[in-house]
Structure 1
Amino acid sequence: MVEVNQFYLKFEANPDRYTLSDLNFCLNHGESLLLLGPSGCGKSTLTYCLNGLYPRELDGEMRGEIVINGKPATEYRPGEISQQVGVVFQDPETQFCMLTVEDEVAFGLENIGVPHEIMEGKINHVLEMVQLLAFKKSAISSLSGGQKQRLALACILALEPSLLILDEPTANLDPIAKKDVIHTIQSIQEKTNCSLIIIEHQLDGWTELTERCLLLNRKGIIFYDGDIRDAIAFKLDELQEQGIWLPKITQYLLKKRLKTEQKLPLTVKEFEEKPFSLFGNEEVNEGNNLPEAGLPYIKASHISWKVGQQPIIQDISLTLYNGEFIAIVGANGSGKTSFSRILAGIQRPTKGSVSIKDRKLGSWKESQLREEVGYVFQNPEHQFIANTVFDEIAFSLRLKMENEAVVKEKVQAVLETCGLLQLQHEHPYALSQGQKRRLSVAAMIVDDQPFLLLDEPTFGQDASSNAELMGLLQGRYESGATIAMITHDMELIHDFATRVIVLHKGRLVADLAPTELWQLPIEKLHKWQLALPIQVQVQNCLKKEGDYAAQSS
């Protein structure tokens, strides 16, 4: 299906550095492949080459050959290759052309001449597969980030390509929706025998679909092509050095330094099937308890917000206290982002009021409010305003007329902490999605606001960047800042949060400590589209095995 031979690529902006170097690999019909590597290593760039966007839209140089279905990619006419290679881009908004969900799916079908009498059935079919049929008539602008990701997938599935490339297709999805999407893709591949390339950082769920991986290092060079289990066994040091995520259960067992001659499991199911004496009866940290409450910081009173006649937030009242690390969780479309924007004073509620330090939001000057509350958007590009990475971080400091020497010192420190020092002269839009996310966080934390609201701050991050970002936020928390973070990552909630706020269909349905959340019935968690973190799943497995052993004896 795909042949890549001695392939090199570099951009005009970096003439002395190849983004991709000497790539050689093949992908057969019906085969699946995990394309893994650190943020900014060229994974998405390779995608643009495989679907024909490069070299047509490339400001730079390409060498080598890419062959799709026996024909060089450069010999396909514009648009022709997209019927064979379908791509769900990392940022789904970049591939939308129309205003409504239905029209967006129809757009691609119309372009390949699908008759109108069968188009309706195809649209309904793919929307049902990605659980968006109820949103068929909705405006795309009204969808959540995760719903937009599923819409992009539906648009590509409707075209039935021979090769499907998914660039972090589940990064913005809640745990249950992620499982559903992976299951859907697996079902589609079985029915159509299409080839599949998955670019992901978080591997959980994907290893059940394929165990072949292609590993890129930070220089855009392939350092491994083969079975993921063998990579963990023989390339572990290099995987960790490059910041490539391992499946969560594998990562957890390695952290516990559990030695075994057998290959480590890639899934919790595999862990359950192995002899438990192999791993020992390890004690597992259950997570954080609620700390003693500090002074009230933000009060939300009977907050409601709707778009037209559609209620998004419904009568939420709560108080956030000084010194909390709060996780805001729930299904895609449950209102998390809307609620966080209301708390930050970016969006006004339809009903109700918000107070910060006992002052209504309306009485705050905008400049004062931004010194008090920092907000990191779900889409990092929504907050970029400067032409270089350095100037983006320096902007708010210069706005406050800080001494330029102080500005330089603060910016350099944040650049180094966020792994952006080598990119300080780049344009923010030239960065990879993971690098853009780190920049958006860096631009916000440089101001030292006492309250930080972050919408999916670890989206698109490799393991090293994720650890640095969360270490940075933990440092801010320990120095007295209050942090509220929207996330779908149950491990982050377990490891960092002191309090969890659960939204479901725009309503506040739970407000509790992580330890209390994990003890709720699993049916309730699944109803809210949540899952147990790996540590708790392991604990439950060991407990079940211990109970079984006790009964047997």
Structure 2
Amino acid sequence: MIEFKNFTFQYRSLGTPTLKNINLSIQSGEKVLIAGPSGSGKSTLGHCLNGLIPFSYSGEITGELQINNIEPHKASIFDISSHVSTILQDQDGQFVGLSVGEDVAFREENSNVTVDIMKQNVKTALKKVNMENHICKSPQELSGGLKQRASLAGIIMSEAPILLFDEPLANLDPASGRSAMELISSVHEKSNKTIVVIEHRIEDVLAEKFDKIIIIDNGIIAASGTPAELILDGSLRRFGLREPLYIETLRHAGVDLKELDVLDIYSLNSPNVKENIDNWIENVKPKVLSYDEKILEIKDLTFSYNKKDNIIKNINFDLYKGEIISLLGNNGAGKSTLSKVITGICKNSKGTISYKGENIDSWSIRKRGQEIGYVMQNPNHMITQETLLDEVSFGLKLRGYKKDEILEKAENTLKICGLHAFRNWPITALSYGQKKRLSIATILALDPSILILDEPTAGQDYKHYLEFMQFIESLSKTGLSIIFITHDMHLALEYSNRAIVLSNGEIIRDDTVSSVLSHAEILEQANLKKISVSTLAGVLDIDEKLMLETFINYDHREMV
């Protein structure tokens, strides 16, 4: 169905090829995961499959590529669309309709499907992704996760034999991510279409069966095999990808994986595995952290966009100097809206916000921005300059820094965020994950006292995730207070001191992350997902909270 032969592609704006001598075959009906570090060439490979290369991104192609017996770069983008349907990594580039329903109907509308049948098909597709209540909304009104679900509904309508998903889970809450993978598997089983998924969230993806994983690193195919093969030989870890957390737990406890069915967590209930895990838990000592200097105080905070329906309701919590907290909850729970109220982008209708004991309700956005840095979920909403160095320097110029100070701070921040090698690149040449890091670098350069990060690890491979989170953790030790708005339960578990869980605009839990993730009712109410460490605890009849706390306290970074 898909075949690359000695295929090389070089963007016109770059001096070296992004894809180098790719040789790859994907058979009809296979379900394949393409993974690799951020910037490795995964999305470029996807763009070659769906025709965005060369029709939207120009460059030089050598070698051969055939998709369902056509050569895409010699066909038209219209011809390719009948063979390959795509969910793009950049959500805002996905939509063409003025409403969700109109966007989902776009393909059938162009195929002259009758209105009655089209409407019914659209409703069916939206129902499958729990979006039927949003059929009349503009895509631009939706949260990142809801946009992703609307995109999934659109691709369900496709008759193309190949479905390409470029990071379909990037902005979904955990439970919605699980549903999305189940939906993709259901489409595969019922239609036998060829499925290609490009994704970082290995644990969520491998909850479903895949025929093989292809790892791309630095533009070449670095490894290829079944999921079990690549877990056992350590390829995922070696190339900057994260294994499922229950696999990490087994490794931490010294369990020999070679004799196990590593993809079936429910088969791991053996005396040897339990003995290793029990010994591991007994030998890992708890870490106790305490904070005493309150830096932010939120009291009875309420906000409504239309002065009728409250999006957030009576929010109360404190943030301490050097503390890291995670805001958790389902898509649309009010997490991003709360951050906009804290930063002054939106004006609270009730309640107060105090910074270091001072009421800041009357502070301007600019004044708040000097103390509270905010990195939006979508990096395209923040980027204004042409090159990376210009982008990071821009805010420093507005703050009145001297020229030599600007250059030094900008370059140091780009180094910290792993982007210094690309400092003179045009931002348009970056992957989505690299743009995320750039938007974070831009705010970090301004030295805020509080940093709010909306989905900071979306689109990041494990290597950059680990480097960045270690850096964030080191900043917190200098006194920087950090709020994560995240769907990444791994991030919340390993790096947060506390979790605040929102549902329907209200706080339903403010507790340690281990307590939250071991509380079944809270997980269900907030559309969160039990992570595989908890599942393994249940399989081995070990207390979930104890297992999670041991995982947190274990210095996992030494294992990378």
Give TM-score scaled by structure 1 length: 0.92
Aligned to 2:465: 466
For residues 271 and 137 of structure 1, the distance between their equivalents in structure 2, rounded to whole angstroms, comes to 47
Aligned to 2:527: 529
Structure 1 pair 398/282, CA: closer, same or farther in 2 (3 Å)?
farther
| AA aligned opposite 1:18 | P
Instruction: Give 3-state SS (helix, strand or coil) of 1:334's partner.
Output: coil
| AA aligned opposite 2:212 | R
More deviation in 70-79 or 325-334? 70-79
Aligned to 2:243: 246
Aligned to 2:557: none
Aligned to 2:390: 391
Instruction: Give 3-state SS (helix, strand or coil) of 1:80's partner.
Output: helix
Alignment of structure 1 residues 82-231 onto 2, 5 Å: 82-207=81-206, 208-218=208-218, 220-231=219-230
Alignment of structure 1 residues 270-419 onto 2, 5 Å: 270-272=267-269, 276-277=273-274, 279-284=276-281, 291-307=290-306, 310-419=309-418
Structure 1 pair 544/254, CA: closer, same or farther in 2 (3 Å)?
closer
CA contact (8 A) 2:304 2:311 kept: yes
Instruction: Give 3-state SS (helix, strand or coil) of 1:79's partner.
Output: helix
Q: Residue deviations 1:180-215, cap 9 Å, x none?
A: 111111111111111000111111242232040111
Instruction: Give 3-state SS (helix, strand or coil) of 2:242's partner.
Output: coil
> How far 1:307 moved relative to its partner?
4.4
Instruction: Give 3-state SS (helix, strand or coil) of 1:323's partner.
Output: coil
Structure 1 pair 266/439, CA: closer, same or farther in 2 (3 Å)?
farther
Instruction: Give 3-state SS (helix, strand or coil) of 2:300's partner.
Output: strand
Q: Residue deviations 1:477-518, cap 9 Å, x none?
A: 111111110111112212111121111011221112223323
Instruction: Give 3-state SS (helix, strand or coil) of 1:8's partner.
Output: strand
Alignment of structure 1 residues 246-265 onto 2, 5 Å: 246-263=243-260, 265=262
Question: Alignment RMSD, CA only?
Answer: 2.3
For residues 107 and 350 of structure 2, the distance between their equivalents in structure 1, rounded to whole angstroms, comes to 40
Structure 1 pair 161/240, CA: closer, same or farther in 2 (3 Å)?
same
* Number of equivalent positions: 541
For residues 268 and 473 of structure 1, the distance between their equivalents in structure 2, rounded to whole angstroms, comes to 32
CA contact (8 A) 1:250 1:264 kept: no
Structure 2 unaligned runs (5+)? Answer: 545-560
Aligned to 2:445: 446
> How far 1:278 moved relative to its partner?
6.9
Structure 1 pair 269/175, CA: closer, same or farther in 2 (3 Å)?
farther
Structure 1 pair 308/239, CA: closer, same or farther in 2 (3 Å)?
same
Structure 1 pair 493/103, CA: closer, same or farther in 2 (3 Å)?
same
Structure 1 pair 512/420, CA: closer, same or farther in 2 (3 Å)?
same
Instruction: Give 3-state SS (helix, strand or coil) of 2:370's partner.
Output: helix
For residues 270 and 308 of structure 1, the distance between their equivalents in structure 2, rounded to whole angstroms, comes to 53
Aligned to 1:551: none
More deviation in 168-177 or 53-62? 53-62
More deviation in 26-35 or 292-301? 292-301
1:46 corresponds to 2:30: no
CA contact (8 A) 1:328 1:484 kept: yes
CA contact (8 A) 2:98 2:138 kept: yes
Aligned to 1:7: 7
Instruction: Give 3-state SS (helix, strand or coil) of 2:492's partner.
Output: helix
CA contact (8 A) 1:229 1:263 kept: no
Structure 1 unaligned runs (5+)? Answer: 547-553
Instruction: Give 3-state SS (helix, strand or coil) of 1:303's partner.
Output: strand
| AA aligned opposite 1:452 | L
CA contact (8 A) 2:129 2:149 kept: yes
CA contact (8 A) 2:302 2:310 kept: no
Structure 1 pair 69/261, CA: closer, same or farther in 2 (3 Å)?
closer
| AA aligned opposite 2:36 | G
CA contact (8 A) 2:213 2:224 kept: yes
CA contact (8 A) 1:291 1:498 kept: no
Instruction: Give 3-state SS (helix, strand or coil) of 1:204's partner.
Output: helix
CA contact (8 A) 1:302 1:316 kept: yes
For residues 242 and 352 of structure 2, the distance between their equivalents in structure 1, rounded to whole angstroms, comes to 42
CA contact (8 A) 1:288 1:515 kept: no
CA contact (8 A) 2:33 2:198 kept: yes
More deviation in 285-294 or 358-367? 285-294
Structure 1 pair 415/256, CA: closer, same or farther in 2 (3 Å)?
farther
> How far 1:465 moved relative to its partner?
0.2
For residues 199 and 37 of structure 1, the distance between their equivalents in structure 2, rounded to whole angstroms, comes to 9
CA contact (8 A) 1:35 1:215 kept: yes
Q: Residue deviations 1:220-261, cap 9 Å, x none?
A: 101222212222333x2x543431222222233334443343
For residues 407 and 87 of structure 1, the distance between their equivalents in structure 2, rounded to whole angstroms, comes to 41
